[in-house]
Structure 1
Amino acid sequence: MRIGELSERTGVTRRMLRYYEEQGLIASQRCSNGYRDYEEPCVDRVQQVRGLLDAGLPTQTIRRILPCLGPPGRIDIPNPTPETIALLERECVRMSQRITHLTRNRDAMAAYLAEVRRAAPVEPATAQSAR
């Protein structure tokens, strides 16, 4: 499939797909006209990459663990090196710290929103329906 179809099927922009390829996260073949051609499993791979990026992993870490990821939901690390284990442990700690910060920020925002709603004057129903 061409890059446009991969973009449509994954919701990832063409520009980001090219970046993933530059980073070694996905691969394509080149057609005689120079167009990129992606195999069907690339759809799952892009979704895995997107999920790992959304989780906060940097691309260099993703590149190291991608060979361990099979189809979605399956991880296969037959002989993990101590470096790979240490890398994953560091990422887990970093993610836990990020979750703690995000939770604190969400709670502060929710408290602020609750206070704004409590202090906001309630408009009469007739004024709202006139809009």
Structure 2
Amino acid sequence: MMIGELARRSGVTTKAVRYYESLGLITPRRLGNGYRDYTEDDVRLVREIKALHRMGIPVERTRPFLECLAAGRAHIDDCPASLAGYREVIDELTERIEALTARRSTLITNLRAAAHRGSTVAPAGTDEDYLTLPADLPAPEDDGATAHLPGTKAPRITLPSTAGKGVRLDALGARRTVIYVYPLTGRPGTDLPEGWNSIPGARGCTPETCGFRDHFQDLLEAGAGRVHGLSSQDTEYQNEVVERLGLPFDMLSDPALTLADTLGLPTFEAAGARLFKRMTLVLRDGAIEHAFYPVFPPDEHAAEVLAWLRENPL
């Protein structure tokens, strides 16, 4: 067969085939007119080279595997040299992973330090009213309102963030994204809706947010690729919260509660406004992997999410 057919059947480019040939990994015979003539064996060799390369084995180091086939073995890794090749690449990848993990930890530490460096510390007697939860807060009941969420595809919704850019929920990638959804955060000098403390699950947004702030690095180290808070408050309001509390992550705004309407999320009414009920969604690969609901007490919820991440590693 000609080189174009070999490339098509093997799923590579003709340039790649010529490169493999230059390394002596495949050796087609020459026809009388000078054209290369490839065989079914060459198709298999090229496919094996491609598969090994996708696993992280450089093309130049696939020779022992191909020689294993040439020796008459049924599989490319039936020979001791092939196993040694696996081990060498595994060791190299382990070193790279360790180096990248160390760099990632350093970046996380720097991010958290930078987020706190310029934050405004509220005067005594202001924020502490929002950070302290009454002992008699009513606990929300599990009404099964989020039971349908695990396994549901993330909607193609883009929400504005405090970073000044949109976050598309169905395109967050393969790493886990933790989004804690809450009704509203109080602001010093601003009254909360009347009867707020008597609404099950309403009070405690600021302590919950501070919990995610304080556990942020732990959450990333446990496998969360991103952390976001989400409420119906506008981005300008949330920017003040990010600054005042020194948050190392971005907040998402959904004033129209589009996410609630699209996914059927539970909401409630307070002071004439429709608000999200408190819950946390874990998204991965464009779908909702897990939903925490109801959330109580809110000031301990970040630790609950952290425990789940550690108990359910990828």
Q: Which structure dedicates a bigger proportion of its chain to strand? A: 2
Give the structure 2 partner of residue 23 of structure 1.
23
Q: Distance in 2 between matches of 1:9 and 1:87?
A: 27
Task: Provide the residue aligned with 2:67 in structure 1.
Answer: 67
Q: Contact 1:55 / 1:95 at 8 angstroms: preserved in 2?
A: no
Going from structure 1 to structure 2, the CA distance change for 1:87 and 1:6 (only over 3 Å counts) comes to closer
5 Å-filtered alignment, 1:68-87, equals 68-69=68-69, 70-71=73-74, 73=75, 75-77=77-79, 80=80, 87=85
The residue aligned with 1:107 is 175
| TM-score normalized by the length of structure 1 | 0.66
Counterpart contact for 2:228–2:252, Cα < 8 Å: yes
Structure 1 residues 47-84: Cα deviation after superposition (integer angstroms, max 9, x where no partner): 1000111111123321233211444x45332xx47xx7
Q: Is the 8 A contact 2:2 2:38 kept in 1?
A: yes
Tell me the percent identity. 34
Alpha-carbon distance change, 74 to 18 in structure 1, aligned in 2, over 3 angstroms: closer
TM-score, scaled relative to structure 2: 0.31
Contact persistence 2:29–2:36 (CA under 8 A): yes
Aligned match of 1:40:
40
- Looking at structure 1, the residues matched to 93 and 35 of structure 2 have their Cα atoms a distance apart, in angstroms, of 37
Give deviations 1:80-121, integer Å, cap 9, x for gaps.
47xx7655422222244556759x8x5378733x64997264
The answer to whether the 8 Å contact 2:65/2:76 transfers is no
Query: Match for residue 2 of structure 1?
Result: 2
Equivalent-residue separation in structure 2 for 1:11 and 1:31 (angstroms): 24
Larger Rg: 2
Match of residue 90 from structure 2: 92
One-letter code of the match for 2:92? R
> 1 or 2, which has the higher helix percentage?
1
Question: What letter is aligned with 1:27?
Answer: T
Distance 1:50 1:63 in 2: 12
The partner residue of 1:119 within 252, 257, 266 is 252
CA 1:85–1:12 in structure 2 vs 1: closer, same or farther (change >3 Å)? closer
SS at 2:45's partner residue?
A: helix
State whether structure 2 residue 54 is matched by structure 1 residue 54. Answer: yes
The alpha-carbon deviation at position 27 of structure 1 amounts to 1.7
